[in-house]
Chains A and B, each alone.
Chain A
Amino acid sequence: MISLVAGDAWVLQAILWLPVVGAAHVILGSESRAKILALVWSTLVFLLSASLWWLYNPNAGSGYQLVSSFEWIAKFGVNYALGVDGISLFMLLLTTLITPIAILGSFEYIKTKEKAFYSLMLMLEFAVLGVFSATDMFLFYVFFELTLIPMYFIIGIWGGGRRIYAAVKFFLFTSLGSLLMLVGILYMYSRGGSESFAFDHFLQIPLSLTEQLWLFGAFGLAFAIKIPLFPFHTWLPDAHVEAPTPGSVVLASVLLKMGTYGFVRFLLPFFPLVVSNSFIVGLVMGLGVLGILLCAWIAAVQHDAKKLVAYTSVAHMGFVVLGIFATNEIGLQGAMIIMISHGLSTGALFLLLGMLYERTKTREISEFGGLAKSVPWLTTMFVVSAFASIGVPGTSGFTGEFLALIGAFEVSPTMAIFAATGVVFAAYYMLPMVQSIFFNTKTEPENSELQDLTRRESLVLIPLIVGIFWLGVYPKPFMDRMSPSLNEVIERVEDQEDIGVTLFTPGTSERRVSEDLGHVVDSWETEPTEVGGSD
């Protein structure tokens, strides 16, 4: 294998396949050792993937690194091709970090069919890693769909009371989107001469505006459901409420990022004409803002703590979408940092709620109260995660939201102002929950006898908390690594404008607020004219 792959590319291959080896080992091993094996294998993957931090060289120019490619279905030009760039690097690291944490966090939660559960977790990691490291559209799609299967079983087997409903809804809703994307992929494939599925090849395909619009719709819908972008979000609260803790953690921290990753990876560079159209940009950003506001309000009136956090995920993803569609470097950097930050803080919140559930067997906010007295460490962790989630400076949440909002503000001040009110509403949904769970007086007498964090639980949470502060205080190493890849995406969008293919008002870049505060969205008036040079 090593001889087949040039240089350090074997690392990426190994990261991708080690979870499969681990899953096989778990299945072949005994039931009682399943969790330990899963933990060891996923930790191994994490340690190996940590080397990517150094192996990836941001100064080596644009494009993918650690590339390796093999023919898979030669007849159709399908390759098994992997690579990593500044965008996927952090998604890979997030995945490999979250998986062992979720596995370690499920030791007490999962009591039945452990072998099956832990092997599914590892298979899920495999599929997600595949999504983030594939550089071939076909391969990407295979992995994208593959993620559904383990998650479907994790929700459907180890979930709560309405688990079947939630699992089916999750599966059908998300696969509906992906099928549309499949149609889009095949169309682009045929337009590109049916030669290759490589990303780079797809980038070269000349498409007319109409084609781009349709394809944007197909791809966009698939990712919008995955993210989930308002109003395609209703599968998420159901899935989160029913999923077991580790399922929720992986779902929120990693699976949702596949959607936003798709936005950055495909929507922006593939369809620059659409993305530089201010109406479409305004529409998508508007949906993001709606998600931020409505889901914040909805979260505020939830009775179920887990559902509350689920809705906050939608609100956070609204910020991500806002940052992405600002299509400037600040916005994209912000969006990427929120993606990581959300993975850390929401992951921690789900883990903590899971720990509370293990102790009290309830998630009803009103059934808690005064827990800060009996479980001070858990409270501390929860409060830190909650404040990271609502974006207090010094934590990762602020860094991301701040950048995303600045980026959005350059493009559309109106949108950014509305989105920024989400900062207030974040406090409005999070603090009441913190108060009624941990503060006030005890309502249930048995709550005073709860066990505080065990050593295992502290071990689960500490990496997340460290990450939260690292990203909050010194995010520069992250931003430096992302920057070249993100700039490539932006250049691609801006190049299209410069060629003069588009006659719309561009929705990006050096617009000065002083000139047209709030009029950006309204600039649709310029009539779209037929785009030349497409065929």
Chain B
Amino acid sequence: MLPTQVLFLSAVIFVVGTLGVIVRRNAIIMFLCIELQLNAVNMAFVALSRYVGIEGQLFVFFVMTVAAAEAAVGLAIIISIFRHYESVITDDFSFLRW
């Protein structure tokens, strides 16, 4: 597989993730979409490491660690919101608006 093709795939997945975050209202799905974006970026890192060097692959591990931490915190927040309001639909939540 050529790096360009991988980069193209990464871009597609990223767009899918972005659209998902914008369009979907379910917090879990939005969260999954964010993971999609992250992984799309990971893929781009790996592909580009072929030109740049090992640092690209190194960054993937960083991103994965951060993503894991983020998933843990994010899911915990979503679950606690669900417990409280019995909903994970973001339309219902705008309490922090000014």
Indicate if A touches B (C-beta under 8 A).
no
